[in-house]
């Protein structure tokens, strides 16, 4: 098992290199480089040339890449074109906001998906099943920005239950408790929208997994042993049915660095996703590269975690 | 309780399908004494598995329907008791093992836990006690290094070993009856004998009655005290094993026994079969289900014969109007067979003649 | 007990019909495989509803404009009452902020959205089959390289890559959006096809064909691929739905279809600011997207059930 992990980690490194080359090339293909977008239009040509040299934008792209790579390997991600802050700091600042949104959303989605999926499976073919399936389809077939829009309109504008954007209504100088409550109020709508976008697909997956498991012979053996139906469903069926779902959840979690992008965009939530939009608009290469790299690292890491989880949960994989 | 541990009386189990009701079990009656070993024989689809599942009430009721009869066990009609009582009986008083050991165990639970689960539900022992007993059970079913294997997972065992684990689970709580539904069908031939010996031995040691379901007459001959022969959801004949093999009285049993190739037969003789196919259980013909394939059939067979004891032999029952030992009946049957052979020959020749454009010049 | 030795001429009066002729041979008419699949699909009510809805939607977008002939681009801004109007007979779904008829815009926008979704799916599937079949069939180094390639694309979170690529390549025309979406989604098809090929190439019918001298290409595309067709078709159907959503996301954020062309997604983008005044501008394209994707999903699920060889009769 340990050897397997090490092998996968070793494979991940060249992959990461290739990914960085891929992404570097891509963002430099975006028309209108940083110099055209950020620089003050009133700058003289000499001033522009000086700035370009300072940012290293006058070099050929492959050289730029090698410079970037060299810096990145030492943990130096340079400075943002837009704000001149160290990129590392910017990411560190924005990442918690995305986590706040992403982790509760996925945790909630997982719990609801398991519940809905199991109920749907056990009431297979009844009206309950059809209702829950319909709800799941709404989550799957509605584009997430539309969900966000509707949520904002219904709960924010019409009902005035929740605020529709940002993280807080007040400036500073409010007591911590009220600030916390206010923060939570701002969190709820985007978090729910994000959760709904996952629940749809996950609950369908759970449902079909559960239906398959309940048909298995060992469930009948359990019944022949005298195990009660509820114990049978939880201890035997659920235990087996949830395994494939957990792998999917782990994989979806890998998208953490980019998965909330749209939600953050709609609700103006100041996380990595919103940062990405902003950096893209001004062609802020250092920030873009760092974000893309972070995103790829998470995707690859959670791919590995998903495989490990699968082995942990299914002894047939572990011991073969 | 009387002298019987289990008494099945006129059991009827139907399945509701779109096209109607499939009469999988249509009036089956038999009984098992404490410690007795009963074999239930019949071809695929004759309803023997469904009978066992009906006794254990393991059939989901929407498609299945208990359409009649009673199953008397321990002074109770199992078809009437509430589910909670049934749950205590399953695994506690009646154990059951199934055909395919590869899929019958939970792949994500250790073998020890699966055995322990039965112990903890019925005997309410502690986790440690359950573990200890599980180890000893594994030893009893012949699994070496039981103390280590207790924490292994099912996929780490071979098919035969898994079946042994199933037996351990089924017998863990010392039930009065073990139902074995084709326990050896999915196993290698060499392993089959071992498993049967194991079942035989352990059940004899503990006085557990056994109901073994199989289509293999060899299994039945080696192990059972009594045999029930089923066909199309009904019982055709039942007798003590030796008696049945020596003195079969139902045309179906005759057919079954004569279809088994024997070592002392003349070489190069043709294998005998029972021609025809089992009836459609959606619309079973009235009367004896074997009639269309029976050489001894009479008009009276359109009424189902009752399962009655042979005159002078209260242990041997058959459901047949005809006395197959009567030479007249045998001649009649033989004549019918010859007529059919002639008919088939004639039809084949006619077909050949019509397809051959030119007849051979000799 | 040897009855056959005994010959007798005894007959009795109550002889029954010749025996064994009583049991009729059950001659079941064998349905063709296509027929079986069709029957199973038809029995799935949700799938049939989805298919019917798709038909209606396609007709709405492609045939509709010949019936409802208003020009979607004609501005009626001259009259103040005809902008952001409520539904009237002249404009059953109202008008937008510059007076364009929403119904006509929905039809024309639908053409773009549906075409983008469909064509990008075709491209993705073709490319995915190309890569996946070679990777799965040849295995070894070929497989390794191709899968590395796929992994690189998959390593970047989808939406980040989507937006970067669109900033780099998309110029607002449907063609560029089609290419973009195809480039992003071929990976799923490739993985699926590779898996199918890996499994199928070990089957006996492949070995049998090889022994009579079939070459690699023939094996891959005339033998293995048709057997993998089932999951591929299901995947393709569901992919159309995914692609329509991707296009709408792109267009909503301004990275996809841009004026003068409009799609359902871009309609939502322009209509969003007027949501309080005229919700139709968002609801019409939004619900159209939803029902289209829903229909594709229902049909895709129906196909999956109909094509699954292990589905028991219910």
Residues of A in contact with C253 (CB under 8 A): 145, 262, 265, 277
Q: Which site among A125, A130, A145, A155 would you substitute to test the C interface, given the most C Cβ atoms closer than 10 Å to its Cβ?
A: A145
Per-residue confidence (pLDDT) for residue B334, from 0 to 100: 86
pLDDT exceeds 70 at position C22? no
Q: For residues B220 and B37, give the distance between their C-alpha atoms in angstroms, rounded to a whole number.
A: 10
Q: For residues C84 and B349, give the distance between their C-alpha atoms in angstroms, rounded to a whole number.
A: 88
Residue C233 burial (10 A CB sphere; 0-12, 13-18, 19+): middle
- Are the Cβ atoms of B339 and C20 closer than 8 angstroms? no
Could you read off the pLDDT of B131-178 as tens digits, one per residue? 999 999 999 999 999 899 999 999 999 999 999 999 999 999 999 999
Return per-residue pLDDT of chain A as tens, 320 residues: 778 788 888 888 888 888 888 888 887 877 776 666 666 667 677 777 777 777 777 777 788 888 888 887 777 777 777 777 888 888 888 888 899 899 999 999 999 999 999 999 998 888 899 899 989 998 899 998 999 888 888 888 777 777 777 776 655 666 778 778 888 888 888 999 999 999 999 999 999 999 999 999 999 999 999 999 999 999 999 999 999 999 899 988 888 877 788 888 888 888 888 888 888 888 888 888 888 888 888 998 998 888 888 888 888 877 75
Residue with tokens 């293995």: C224
Residues of B in contact with A313 (CB under 8 A): 108
Q: Coil, helix or strand for B150?
A: coil
- CB-CB contact of B103 with A218 (8 Å): yes
Q: Residue B113: how many CB atoms within 10 A of its CB? A: 19
Contacts of B290 (CB under 8 A, 6+ apart): B231, B232, B236, B251, B252
Could you read off the pLDDT of C177-227 as tens digits, one per residue? 999 999 889 998 898 899 888 888 888 888 888 888 888 888 888 888 888
Could you read off the pLDDT of C240-280 as tens digits, one per residue? 999 999 999 999 988 888 888 889 999 999 888 888 788 88
- CB-CB contact of B43 with B278 (8 Å): yes
Residue scoring higher pLDDT (C35 or A233): A233
Confidence of residue C238 (pLDDT cuts 50, 70, 90): very high
DSSP for C98-155, written as a single string: T--BHHHHHHHHHHHHHHHHHHHHHHHHHHHHHHHHHHHHH-HHHHHHHHHHHHHHHH
**What ipTM was assigned to the predicted interfaces of this complex?**
0.84
Of A220, A228, A315, the CB nearest to B107: A315
Residues of A in contact with B91 (CB under 8 A): 224-227
- Are the Cβ atoms of B107 and A228 closer than 8 angstroms? no
Closest CA to B210 of B361, B1, B6, B3: B6
pLDDT exceeds 60 at position C25? no
Q: For residues B23 and B35, give the distance between their C-alpha atoms in angstroms, rounded to a whole number.
A: 31
pLDDT exceeds 60 at position C5? no
Could you read off the pLDDT of C54-107 as tens digits, one per residue? 999 999 999 888 887 777 776 654 454 556 667 776 677 777 777 778 888 888
- Are the Cβ atoms of B155 and A236 closer than 8 angstroms? no
Contacts of A253 (CB under 8 A, 6+ apart): A102, A106, A302
CA-based max dimension of chain B: 89
Which chain A residue has its CA at the smallest distance from B86's CA?
A226
Q: For residues A112 and A120, give the distance between their C-alpha atoms in angstroms, rounded to a whole number.
A: 12
Which chain C residue has its CA at the smallest distance from A134's CA?
C294
Q: What is chain C's mean pLDDT, rounded? A: 80
Which chain A residue has its CA at the smallest distance from C151's CA?
A15
pLDDT exceeds 90 at position C158? no
Residues of B in contact with A223 (CB under 8 A): 58, 90
For B250, B286, B287, C21, the CA distances from C14, given in Å and listed in that order, are 20, 18, 16, 17
pLDDT exceeds 80 at position B197? yes
- Are the Cβ atoms of B332 and C14 closer than 8 angstroms? no
Residues of B in contact with A221 (CB under 8 A): 98, 104-106, 166, 169
Per-residue confidence (pLDDT) for residue A170, from 0 to 100: 59
Shortest Cα–Cα distance, C138 to chain A (Å): 21
- Are the Cβ atoms of A319 and B155 closer than 8 angstroms? yes
pLDDT exceeds 90 at position B238? yes
Provide mean pLDDT across the span B51-63: 92
- CB-CB contact of B301 with B287 (8 Å): yes
Q: For residues C227 and C160, give the distance between their C-alpha atoms in angstroms, rounded to a whole number.
A: 36
> Range with the lowest mean pLDDT among A305-309, C1-5, C47-51?
C1-5
Neighbours of chain B (3+ CB pairs under 8 A): A, C
Residue A166 burial (10 A CB sphere; 0-12, 13-18, 19+): exposed
pLDDT exceeds 80 at position B2? no
Question: For chains A and B, what is the number of CB pairs under 8 angstroms?
Answer: 76
Of B87, B103, B156, the CB nearest to A218: B103
pLDDT exceeds 50 at position C314? no
Which chain A residue has its CA at the smallest distance from B52's CA?
A224
Contacts of C165 (CB under 8 A, 6+ apart): A26, C180, C183, C184
Q: For residues A41 and B315, give the distance between their C-alpha atoms in angstroms, rounded to a whole number.
A: 110
Provide mean pLDDT across the span C120-127: 94
- Are the Cβ atoms of A217 and B109 closer than 8 angstroms? no
- Are the Cβ atoms of A255 and C157 closer than 8 angstroms? yes
Which chain B residue has its CA at the smallest distance from C4's CA?
B334
Residues of C in contact with A146 (CB under 8 A): 248, 268, 286, 289-290
DSSP for A283-305, written as a single string: T-HHHHHHHHHHHHHHHHHHHHH
Contacts of B131 (CB under 8 A, 6+ apart): B112, B116, B150
- CB-CB contact of B207 with B35 (8 Å): yes
Burial C275-302 (b: 16+ CB within 10 A, else e): beebebbbbbbbebbbbbbbbbbbbbbb
Confidence of residue B181 (pLDDT cuts 50, 70, 90): very high
Q: Residue A175: how many CB atoms within 10 A of its CB? A: 8
- The percent of residues above 70 in pLDDT, for chain B, comes to 98
Per-residue confidence (pLDDT) for residue B210, from 0 to 100: 95
For B345, C126, C140, C207, C233, the CA distances from C197, given in Å and listed in that order, are 51, 15, 13, 14, 15
Which chain A residue has its CA at the smallest distance from C243's CA?
A143
DSSP for B202-251, written as a single string: HHHHHT-EEEEEES-HHHHHHH-SEEEEEETTEEEEEEEHHHHHHS--SH
Q: What is the dihedral of CA B3, B4, B5, B8, to 10 degrees?
A: -160
> Range with the lowest mean pLDDT among A173-187, B261-275, C21-35, C293-307?
C21-35
Closest CA to C4 of B292, B269, B330: B330
Neighbours of chain C (3+ CB pairs under 8 A): A, B
Burial B81-95 (b: 16+ CB within 10 A, else e): beeeebbebbbbbbb
Provide mean pLDDT across the span C26-55: 80
- Are the Cβ atoms of A18 and C152 closer than 8 angstroms? yes
Q: Which site among C149, C160, C297 would you substitute to test the A interface, given the most A Cβ atoms closer than 10 Å to its Cβ?
A: C160
pLDDT exceeds 60 at position C9? no
Element counts in chain C: helices (H) and strands (E): 12, 0
The answer to whether residue B88 neighbours chain A at the CB level (below 8 Å) is yes
CB contact residues (below 8 A), chain C span 274-303, against chain B:
none
- CB-CB contact of B51 with B232 (8 Å): no
Closest CA to C149 of C175, C168, C164, C130: C130
Provide mean pLDDT across the span B47-75: 91
pLDDT exceeds 60 at position C170? yes
pLDDT exceeds 50 at position B24? yes
> Range with the lowest mean pLDDT among B177-186, B229-238, B301-310, C112-121?
B301-310
Q: Which site among A211, A225, A242 would you substitute to test the B interface, given the most B Cβ atoms closer than 10 Å to its Cβ?
A: A225
Q: For residues B26 and B22, give the distance between their C-alpha atoms in angstroms, rounded to a whole number.
A: 10
Q: Residue A53: how many CB atoms within 10 A of its CB? A: 11
The upper half-sphere exposure of residue B181, i.e. CA atoms within 13 Å in the direction of its Cβ, equals 24
Shortest Cα–Cα distance, A106 to chain B (Å): 26
Could you read off the pLDDT of B91-106 as tens digits, one per residue? 999 999 999 999 999 9
Element counts in chain A: helices (H) and strands (E): 16, 0
Residue scoring higher pLDDT (A63 or B109): B109
Inter-helix orientation angle C140-155/C102-138, to 10° = 150
Q: Which site among C15, C19, C39 would you substitute to test the B interface, given the most B Cβ atoms closer than 10 Å to its Cβ?
A: C19
- CB-CB contact of B94 with B179 (8 Å): yes
Of A217, A226, A313, the CB nearest to B104: A217
Shortest Cα–Cα distance, C7 to chain B (Å): 6
pTM for this model (two decimals):
0.84
- Are the Cβ atoms of C289 and A143 closer than 8 angstroms? yes
Residues of B in contact with C6 (CB under 8 A): 327, 330-331, 334
Chain centroid to Cα C13, Å, comes to 70
Per-residue confidence (pLDDT) for residue C17, from 0 to 100: 53
Provide mean pLDDT across the span C37-41: 84
Residue by residue, what is the 3-state secondary structure of A128-175? Answer: HHHHHHHHHHHHHHCCHHHHHHHHHHHHHHHCCCCCCCCCCCCCCCCC
Long-range Cβ pairs for the range A121-126 (8 Å, 24+): A121/A206, A121/A207, A121/A208, A121/A210, A121/A211, A121/A214, A121/A241, A122/A210, A122/A214, A122/A233, A124/A211
Per-residue confidence (pLDDT) for residue B362, from 0 to 100: 45
Q: Coil, helix or strand for C83?
A: coil
Give phi and psi for B96, each to the nearest 5: -140, 135
pLDDT exceeds 50 at position C122? yes
Residue scoring higher pLDDT (A35 or B335): B335
Confidence of residue C24 (pLDDT cuts 50, 70, 90): very low
pLDDT exceeds 60 at position C6? no
Strands (E), chain B: 6-17, 20-32, 37-41, 64-73, 76-77, 94-97, 177-181, 209-214, 226-231, 234-240, 308-310, 313-318
Provide mean pLDDT across the span B212-239: 92
- Measured at the CA of A82, the angle between CA A77 and CA A88, to 5 degrees, comes to 25
Of B56, B153, B166, the CB nearest to A319: B153
């Amino acid at each position: 098992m340990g050897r397997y992990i090490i092998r996968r980690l070793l494979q991940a490194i060249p992959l990461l290199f290739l990914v960085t080359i891929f992404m570097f090339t891509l963002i430099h293909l975006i028309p209108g480089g940083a110099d055209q977008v950020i620089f003050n239009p009133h700058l003289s040509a000499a001033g522009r040339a000086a700035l370009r040299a300072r940012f290293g934008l006058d070099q050929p792209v492959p050289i730029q890449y090698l410079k970037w790579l060299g810096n990145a390997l030492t943990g130096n991600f340079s400075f943002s074109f837009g704000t001149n802050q160290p990129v590392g700091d910017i990411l560190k600042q924005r990442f918690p906001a995305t986590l706040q949104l992403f982790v509760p959303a996925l945790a909630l989605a997982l719990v609801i998906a398991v519940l809905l999926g199991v109920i749907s499976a056990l009431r297979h073919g009844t009206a309950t099943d059809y209702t829950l399936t319909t709800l799941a389809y709404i989550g799957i077939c509605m584009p997430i920005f539309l969900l966000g829009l509707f949520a904002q309109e219904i709960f924010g504008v019409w009902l005035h239950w929740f605020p529709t954007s940002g993280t807080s209504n007040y400036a500073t100088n409010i007591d911590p408790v009220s600030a916390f409550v206010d923060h939570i109020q701002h969190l709820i709508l985007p978090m729910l929208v994000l959760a709904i976008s996952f629940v749809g697909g996950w609950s369908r997956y759970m449902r079909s997994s559960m239906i398959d498991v309940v048909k298995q012979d060992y469930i009948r053996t359990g019944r022949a042993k005298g195990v009660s139906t509820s114990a049978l469903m939880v201890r035997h069926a659920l235990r087996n049915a949830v395994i494939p779902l957990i792998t999917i959840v782990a994989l979806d979690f890998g998208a953490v660095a980019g998965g909330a992008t749209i939600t953050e965009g709609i609700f103006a939530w100041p996380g990595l996703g919103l940062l990405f939009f902003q950096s893209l608009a001004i062609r802020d290469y250092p920030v873009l590269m760092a974000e893309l790299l972070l995103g790829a690292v998470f995707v690859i890491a959670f791919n590995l975690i998903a495989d490990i989880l699968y082995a942990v949960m299914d002894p047939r994989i572990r011991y073969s | 309780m009387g002298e019987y541990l289990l008494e099945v009386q006129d059991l009827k189990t139907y399945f509701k399908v779109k096209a109607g009701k499939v009469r999988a079990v249509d009036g089956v009656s038999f009984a098992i004494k404490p410690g007795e070993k009963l074999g239930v024989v019949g071809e695929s689809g004759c309803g023997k598995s469904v009978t066992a599942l009906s006794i254990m009430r393991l059939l989901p009721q929407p498609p299945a329907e208990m359409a009649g009869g009673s199953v008397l066990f321990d002074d109770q009609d199992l078809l009437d008791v509430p589910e909670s009582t049934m749950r205590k009986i399953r695994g506690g008083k009646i154990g059951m093992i199934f055909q395919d050991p590869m899929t019958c165990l939970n792949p994500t639970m250790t073998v020890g836990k699966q055995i322990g689960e039965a112990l903890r539900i019925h005997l309410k022992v502690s986790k440690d006690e359950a573990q200890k007993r599980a180890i000893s059970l594994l030893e009893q079913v012949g699994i070496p290094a039981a103390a280590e294997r207790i924490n292994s997972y099912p996929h780490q065992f071979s098919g035969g070993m898994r079946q042994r684990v199933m037996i351990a689970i089924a017998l863990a709580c010392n039930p009065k009856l073990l139902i074995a539904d084709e326990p050896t069908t999915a196993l290698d031939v060499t392993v089959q004998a071992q498993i049967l010996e194991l079942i035989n031995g352990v059940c004899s040691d503990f006085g557990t009655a056994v109901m073994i379901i199989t289509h293999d007459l060899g299994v039945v001959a080696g192990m059972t005290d009594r045999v029930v022969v089923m066909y199309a959801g009904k019982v055709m004949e039942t007798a003590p094993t030796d008696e049945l093999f020596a003195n079969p009285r139902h045309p179906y049993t005759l057919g079954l026994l004569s279809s088994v190739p024997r070592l002392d037969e003349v070489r190069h003789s043709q294998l005998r079969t029972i021609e025809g196919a089992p009836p459609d259980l959606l619309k079973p013909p009235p009367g004896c289900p074997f009639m269309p394939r029976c050489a001894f059939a009479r008009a009276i067979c359109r009424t189902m014969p009752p399962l009655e004891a042979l005159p002078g032999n209260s242990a041997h029952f058959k459901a047949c109007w005809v006395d197959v030992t009567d030479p007249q009946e045998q001649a009649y049957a033989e004549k019918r067979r010859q007529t059919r052979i002639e008919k088939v020959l004639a039809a084949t020749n006619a077909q050949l003649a019509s397809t051959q454009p030119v007849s051979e010049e000799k | 007990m040897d009855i056959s030795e005994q010959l007798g001429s005894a007959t009795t009066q109550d002889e029954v019909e010749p025996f064994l002729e009583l049991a009729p041979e059950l001659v079941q008419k064998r349905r063709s495989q296509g027929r079986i699949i069709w029957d199973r699909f038809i029995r799935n009510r949700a799938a049939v509803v989805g298919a019917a809805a798709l038909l209606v939607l396609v007709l709405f977008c492609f045939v509709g404009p010949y019936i409802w002939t208003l020009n979607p681009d004609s501005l009626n801004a001259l009259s103040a009452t005809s902008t952001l109007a409520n539904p009237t007979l002249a404009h059953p779904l109202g008008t937008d902020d510059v007076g364009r008829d929403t119904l006509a815009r929905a039809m024309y926008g639908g053409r773009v959205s549906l075409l983008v979704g469909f064509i990008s799916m075709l491209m993705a599937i073709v490319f995915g089959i190309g890569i996946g079949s070679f990777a799965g069939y040849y295995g070894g180094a070929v497989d390794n390289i191709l899968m590395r390639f796929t992994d690189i694309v998959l390593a970047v979170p989808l939406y980040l890559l989507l937006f970067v690529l669109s900033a780099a390549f998309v110029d607002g025309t449907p063609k560029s959006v089609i290419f973009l979406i195809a480039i992003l989604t071929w990976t799923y098809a490739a993985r699926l096809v590779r898996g199918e090929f890996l499994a199928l190439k070990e089957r006996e019918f492949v070995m049998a064909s090889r022994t009579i001298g079939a070459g690699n290409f023939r094996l891959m595309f005339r033998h293995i691929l048709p057997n993998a067709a089932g999951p591929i078709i299901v995947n393709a159907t569901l992919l159309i739905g995914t692609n329509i959503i991707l296009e709408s996301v792109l267009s909503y954020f301004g990275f996809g279809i841009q004026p003068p062309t409009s799609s359902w997604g871009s309609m939502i983008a322009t209509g969003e600011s007027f949501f309080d005044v005229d919700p139709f501008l968002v609801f019409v394209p939004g619900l159209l997207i939803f029902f289209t994707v829903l229909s594709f999903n229902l049909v895709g699920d129906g196909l999956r059930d109909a094509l699954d060889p292990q589905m028991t009769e219910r």
